[in-house]
Structure 1
Amino acid sequence: MKKYIQLLVGVLLSFTAAAQSGQVRGRVFDAYSKTPLVGATVILSSTQGATTDAKGEFSLDCSGVTPLTVKFVGYETFNGSLKICDQYLQIGLTPSNTNLNEVEVSAASSETNTVLRQPQSIGLLTRRELSRSEGLFLESSLNLMPGVRMEKRTMNGGQRILIRGYGLPAANGNQLNFNGAGYKAYLNGIPVTDAEGVTVLDDVDFSTLGKVEVVKGPASSLYGTGIGGVVKMFTLRPEAQTTRLVQEGVVGSYGLWSTNTRLESANERASILVNYGHQNYDSYRVHTSSKKDFATFVGDFRSSDKQSISVYAAYNNSFNAMAGQLDSASFFNKENEGEAKYLENNGRVSYESFRSGLSHTYAFTDFLSNTSSAYFNNYTQEQASAAGLNSNMAYNLGGRTEFNFNFANVLQGLTGTVGGEYQKTISFRKTNALGAGGTLGGITADLEVSAMQYSAFTEWNLQLPLDFTLIAGLSANRVEYGITDKLTNSANPTHADLSGYKKFDAVVTPRAALQKLVTPNVTAYASVSQGYSPPSATTVVVPQAGRVLTNLKPEQGTQYEVGSKGSLLDKKLSYQVALFHLKVQDKIMTQAYADPQSGSILYTISANGGEQTNQGLEVALNYSLLQREEGLVTLVKPFLNYTYSDFTYDQFTRESIVKVNNVNTRVVTDYSGQAVIGVPKQNFNAGVDVELKLGFYLYTTFQHVDDMPITYDAKYRAPSYNLLNAKLGWRKNLGNHVSLDVFAGGNNLTGDLYYNMVFLDAYSSSNNPNIYLPAAYKPTYFGGLNFGYKF
């Protein structure tokens, strides 16, 4: 019997040893773009290592439980533990902020999708940049990017983003000062911009973003409309081969507090992230408090090496009180007050939305793959202002498909993309008058608006001799609008019908670029691209007159750009430099029409006319003065960003009604040669990041914004300002399960006077308009704790 027992134990031990030895295989990829990372270093137990191949794959001999480390330039290092051999690992790495030129981007069609190899200016924010401050407000990070400016109307909403000075259409005053236009925004591949070209960011949870890409200038060959460019946002991705529970909390001045509770899990076949968050802010200004609740689900599922499915769903419920704007005197005197009519009407914006999307990727062969997605969004919005109460319910649905071709090993390095995108938005808009004390009055507008956009696109990359790459592409785009005025009925015979339909002619927008690989770490490029931005549906249909402007055309822009990107001094210095010339034609302007007897303005009509020329310089520098794994100080990294903007109007006229000898007279004013409103001449940002081996870190940021014209004649200007921000923290892994991040910081530490937004071109209708939405007059402070537990 004893002999048989010893034999059985020997057999079991042999099976155990076999399970604990063998070969581990895997794939290393960008956690956001899913692009394989070629040349990543994989180390087992500090004794053996491998480098990933062209598919991002590796294989290593292993025996039993052993530490696993994966490194790649520009990405956070993965440190884990290998418990079982003979398995295939999926390891997704997230970008760091050390060398962003090496990071893969999704806004590309080439075989090599790093920022370095893209012949256009692309800004990139990783989780590190997004968390430089309290991590709740995107503008604090996005405004450090050269050529980009983000403003907001409320504490947590009403944002608009300007890219290279574009995004302020001259169609009417409302479009100048509300939400975003002229660019396209995506969240996890789902359009945030609706079919009218309007971008509302109120329901985006910035605290859970892990990466933001900004394509500067027209990108129509892949994304259709938008002269300004494209903003692509991505939620956080789970750490590879890990299941983790995270609790984050932030508190700050003026009743700021925020919490996030998150479950993250990733293995060989799937990764999921579930997050619930709440934000509350009493605010520094009367009647401007905000509250926000949100829930997010992100899932990536791989049924095989060839097929994957991604799912995204999010719910948001937000509320922002509005106090209106301040006039210049109140702003410069730092007064805490609101507009009487806003306070009387209980000015506010409430926003509830649901956003969902499904994406499927399939690799048919090594040469051909397809990614197709479908999405559905809906929201309800109620906004009370000085003018009345606006209620809006909208549905946004559509789909996108891309066929990606890779003939790099056959036809001289040829890769390309062919695809199409469809989007439809249906909205129901009602306006009620508000009486004394904000009491609800009668319906003054009841519109059903339908907007559709169609786009077919293609872009190809060809490797040429002498390390040149040629990129060429184009898209064909069409937009159509329909408006039904529900107040036009038999019971309301005197109502001016605002119904109408407009289908724009198809617009073809090409793009071409030539890039030279100067050294393995330096590129230079020249590009030309075209884009277009259609007017919104409410601009096409004229209020009061009941007319449809069938001759109104989209604005069209052509951009010429030269630049260089790279890493020097043994990759310690990374840089991007870009010079651009953007010409916008068919600018949409307003023309006033008055009663011939009284001279009173009856309505305004939009028309194409005038041009805008934007010329600028953008520079981004990052220098790793010290970067090492051992020693007391592990990182010292200063950075510097600079933007110079020489933007002017050409052949640009506007009509207005003025008193001449006590008679209302129409006056046409030529603003040609004047600087574009709402754009500072120069922006300068600098900072230093310091990290210690013990886990302590310090992030400091200085930001200078020039003064800027806020009227077309440049007579009135918003003041310049300087901001000094800092964040001090301690971040450490305690054992194999617990991670902590404790931090505190402050914004505007010098107490400089600045603004969140300025209403533009308001002096044309008032001698002392309310135009400033002030930021906090005093320094604000915050602190937080992030706790993570690995199972």
Structure 2
Amino acid sequence: MGIILKAYRLLITCCLLLLAFISQAQISSISQTDTLAHRYKLDEITVNAPINVLSIKQWPGSVAGIDSLELTRGNSYILAQQLNKVPGVLMQQGTLSTNRITIRGIGSRTPYNSNRIKAYWGNIPLTDGDGVTSIEDISFNDIPALQVLKGPSSALYGAGLGGVILIDPWISTPSKNQINFQSEVANYTTFSNQLSANLKHQKGFTTISTSHLSSNGYRNNSKYKRYNISLKGKYFLGKNTLHYLYNYRYLNGQIPSSLDSTDFYNTPEKAAASWAAIRGYEEANRHIASLELATQINSKFYHSVALFSTFSNLDELRPFNQLDESKKSIGLRDQLSYSHHSLRLEAGFELMIENNNVNLYGVKESNDGQLLSEAKIKRQYVNIFGLAEYTVQDKLLVQTALNINQTRYQHQDLKTNTKLNHYYPFVFSPRMGLNYQLSLSSHLYAAAGHGFSTPSVEEAQMPDGSFNEAIKPEEGLHFDLGYRFNSENDKTNAELTAYWMHMSNLLVTKRESEEQFYGINAGKTIHRGIEAQFKQSIMFGNSSELLLSSSYSQSINTFEEFIDKGNNYKGNDLPGIPKFSAYLGVNYRINRTNIHLNYQHWGEQYLRDDNSKRYVGFGVLVGKISQAFTLGAFTGQLYIGANNILNKHYASMVLINAPSFGNKQPRYYYPALPFNMYGGISIKLY
């Protein structure tokens, strides 16, 4: 193994040195024109997709954008590298199908998925009625760009505590017919293929794309495969525009689960014994679709109404039971916009109704195949939102917003023939933001707002299957103060933000056994931190460019009130949140050759509420080099890259407060991949 790793390192070093000195006289239009065009996209954020656009420079709050070029500076299927360079954002990836995204520490207590944040693909919520968000299953060829609004900072998209991630499928509209193909191969028999066709017609355009990802996995019991098919397009009808979106995803992935410290440090390629014994897996299908009619009523008024729907089913085999789950949801989003001179108004509502059928079957010898429980869960919510924005003398932008939420749960146990209806009280979430232009290049902003997150079904449901009527949504107050600098030539960009959040009704996961866990409200927390990011572009004539980017975030997250089983944890640090993160990226383009290196370091974090166990900090180095080419009607790129170049042994995801049953060690760690390489080709045909 050691010889192989040395050979890999030598190979990538030679490739980097070889391609670094490849220089061609002709400068590709892709490497210059597209680079500049996409970089300027960072100055825009879609606030009312897909029409209204507001400059990031004027946004009264903390926001970050990731454009298409940044998304291509790594694997064609791993989103974590791109999201993690945004200060305050942490995406942990235990396996290709086990992820957790947190923003400013919010959502760190969710065991196996992303909660407390919201995400949208166009006008389709990628957050279900349960509050669980899944963006990692959207193929890269369906993510031309994304934006992150931190904190409950946009009433237009609800008032999620952590923030919202917006994926804008309309940011790149094809001007002519185009076919794109990308194929990539990596260690552990990993293959990724993407194919898309952009069809331009007189009344609009249509894009059809498909992708495939498969891997044997680094660990035992970690095979994975996924297929995506998507359709998107616009059709112009006078003052009306019809937008349509559709995505189908199929995945089948084995589950190796987390490891205890002994296996993590000695045999990280193992799967957890209980999951390996039963060959645990998940198999899932999901359809999401929306149809939107947008109308430019006149020069001042714009209206859009979107109907969206999701259909999914999941078969998951666990050591303790087998889950058979199906979800059907339908929703409506209606929004009216007014813009005239210095005034902008937005108002609308979003409604979603979701039906969820959940069956659990036994897998042990005593109950193998038996139906253990059968439930129907109906969830519905309505968000009513409004926003008013006024610019005073072209210097001061004042923004006020309000979100009103009503969430209802209905739980029916088909085995006991019992039904429970539960309404959470109306939640009013106001927000106010200010942005003051100090000069042509610099802005000062401040924001204050209220956010909330309702409990998921797993958190609200007790071990006996009953609904905990006493449980309450998490709520919090959020404050931002920041400075933003953008040079006139856009070569230098910097931002510094300080934030403070106070959370109440903190939801804490309680475990009765390995298979039984639920949530309780257990106190209050305080989140404080600073975030900084900096980008500098240096041109060397017309043939080369050096782009430096860095970010840093540091936070203090503590329990203000928290008593659990008689133990008072007041003043303790919240587990699962690194004390700091630092990122440094270097991108060098010379003619048609592009070299990218970045290093990210995370500080130590606690693994338990009592702070009795901690996980040390670690750093990861990745690199990629690409060579653009033109061959007749084809343009494309050849590339090779490596992850974890320093072969650091670390946990790519941790499970906080991991339980220990039957004298077994707690399983805290999901081991990351060791040094690994990938390479591929992308081609465009016009």
Counterpart position of 1:332: 265
Q: After the TM superposition, which residues 712-791 of structure 1 pair with which residues of structure 2 at under 5 Å, given as runs?
A: 712-734=609-631, 737-763=633-659, 768-776=665-673, 778-790=674-686
- SS of 2:451's equivalent? strand
Counterpart position of 1:159: 99
Structure 1 residues 95 and 370, CA gap change in structure 2 (3 angstroms)? farther
Structure 1 residues 602 and 417, CA gap change in structure 2 (3 angstroms)? closer
Counterpart position of 1:578: 497
1:39-66 residue CA offsets vs partner (Å, 9 max, x unmatched)? xxxxxxxxxxxxxxxxxxxxxxxxxxxx
Unaligned runs of 5+ in 2: 1-27
Match of 1:701 among 598, 604, 626: 598
Greater RCO between the two (CA within 8 Å, min separation 6)? 2
Is the Cα contact below 8 Å between 1:396 and 1:425 reproduced in 2? yes
C-alpha displacement at 1:235, in angstroms?
4.1
C-alpha displacement at 1:692, in angstroms?
1.6
- SS of 1:177's equivalent? coil
C-alpha displacement at 1:240, in angstroms?
3.4
The one-letter amino acid paired with 1:200 is S
Distance 2:616 2:276 in 1: 27
TM-score for the superposition, normalised by structure 1: 0.79
Is the Cα contact below 8 Å between 1:590 and 1:654 reproduced in 2? no
Counterpart position of 1:562: 481
Structure 1 residues 690 and 601, CA gap change in structure 2 (3 angstroms)? closer
Distance 1:591 1:252 in 2: 39
Distance 1:566 1:541 in 2: 48
Distance 1:652 1:745 in 2: 46
Tell me the matched-pair count.
658
Match of 1:133 among 64, 74, 97: 74
Match of 1:370 among 303, 315, 321: 303
Counterpart position of 1:661: none
Is the Cα contact below 8 Å between 2:159 and 2:403 reproduced in 1? no
1:448 matched to 2:448: no
Is the Cα contact below 8 Å between 2:250 and 2:284 reproduced in 1? yes
Q: After the TM superposition, which residues 197-212 of structure 1 pair with which residues of structure 2 at under 5 Å, given as runs?
A: 197-201=131-135, 203-212=137-146
C-alpha displacement at 1:627, in angstroms?
6.4
Is the Cα contact below 8 Å between 2:151 and 2:162 reproduced in 1? yes
Counterpart position of 1:261: 195
Distance 2:401 2:327 in 1: 33
Counterpart position of 2:44: 103
Counterpart position of 2:345: 416
Counterpart position of 1:610: 523
C-alpha displacement at 1:237, in angstroms?
6.0
Distance 1:591 1:341 in 2: 21
Structure 1 residues 484 and 220, CA gap change in structure 2 (3 angstroms)? farther
1:427 matched to 2:356: yes
- SS of 1:105's equivalent? strand
Is the Cα contact below 8 Å between 2:39 and 2:67 reproduced in 1? no
Structure 1 residues 641 and 334, CA gap change in structure 2 (3 angstroms)? farther
1:9-62 residue CA offsets vs partner (Å, 9 max, x unmatched)? xxxxxxxxxxxxxxxxxxxxxxxxxxxxxxxxxxxxxxxxxxxxxxxxxxxxxx
Is the Cα contact below 8 Å between 1:109 and 1:416 reproduced in 2? no
1:625 matched to 2:523: no
Distance 1:787 1:361 in 2: 33
Unaligned runs of 5+ in 1: 1-68, 79-93, 170-175, 490-496, 594-599, 656-667
C-alpha displacement at 1:231, in angstroms?
0.9
Distance 1:276 1:379 in 2: 19
Distance 1:339 1:504 in 2: 38
Distance 2:170 2:278 in 1: 39
Distance 2:314 2:528 in 1: 38
CA RMSD of aligned residues (A): 2.7
Counterpart position of 1:224: 158
The one-letter amino acid paired with 2:314 is Q
Distance 2:79 2:518 in 1: 36
Is the Cα contact below 8 Å between 2:625 and 2:640 reproduced in 1? yes
Q: After the TM superposition, which residues 313-328 of structure 1 pair with which residues of structure 2 at under 5 Å, given as runs?
A: 313-328=246-261
C-alpha displacement at 1:540, in angstroms?
3.0
Is the Cα contact below 8 Å between 1:109 and 1:459 reproduced in 2? no
Distance 1:774 1:478 in 2: 40
Q: After the TM superposition, which residues 676-695 of structure 1 pair with which residues of structure 2 at under 5 Å, given as runs?
A: 676-693=574-591, 695=592
Is the Cα contact below 8 Å between 1:361 and 1:370 reproduced in 2? yes
1:117 matched to 2:58: yes
Distance 2:509 2:643 in 1: 40
1:307-352 residue CA offsets vs partner (Å, 9 max, x unmatched)? 2111011111111111222111211224321222212211001111
Distance 1:431 1:415 in 2: 50
1:697-721 residue CA offsets vs partner (Å, 9 max, x unmatched)? 1011111111210101111112321
C-alpha displacement at 1:784, in angstroms?
0.4
C-alpha displacement at 1:400, in angstroms?
0.5
The one-letter amino acid paired with 2:408 is E
Question: Max radius of gyration: which structure?
Answer: 1
The one-letter amino acid paired with 1:462 is Y
C-alpha displacement at 1:261, in angstroms?
1.7
Counterpart position of 1:471: 399
Distance 1:343 1:720 in 2: 29
Distance 1:590 1:104 in 2: 35
Distance 1:108 1:395 in 2: 24
Distance 1:70 1:789 in 2: 14
TM-score for the superposition, normalised by structure 2: 0.91
Structure 1 residues 757 and 605, CA gap change in structure 2 (3 angstroms)? closer
C-alpha displacement at 1:538, in angstroms?
3.9
The one-letter amino acid paired with 2:572 is Q
Distance 1:669 1:756 in 2: 30
Distance 2:480 2:314 in 1: 40
Q: After the TM superposition, which residues 138-287 of structure 1 pair with which residues of structure 2 at under 5 Å, given as runs?
A: 138-155=79-96, 157-169=97-109, 176-201=110-135, 203-219=137-153, 221-235=155-169, 240-266=174-200, 269-287=203-221
C-alpha displacement at 1:100, in angstroms?
5.5
Distance 2:267 2:459 in 1: 36
Is the Cα contact below 8 Å between 1:451 and 1:537 reproduced in 2? no
C-alpha displacement at 1:168, in angstroms?
3.2
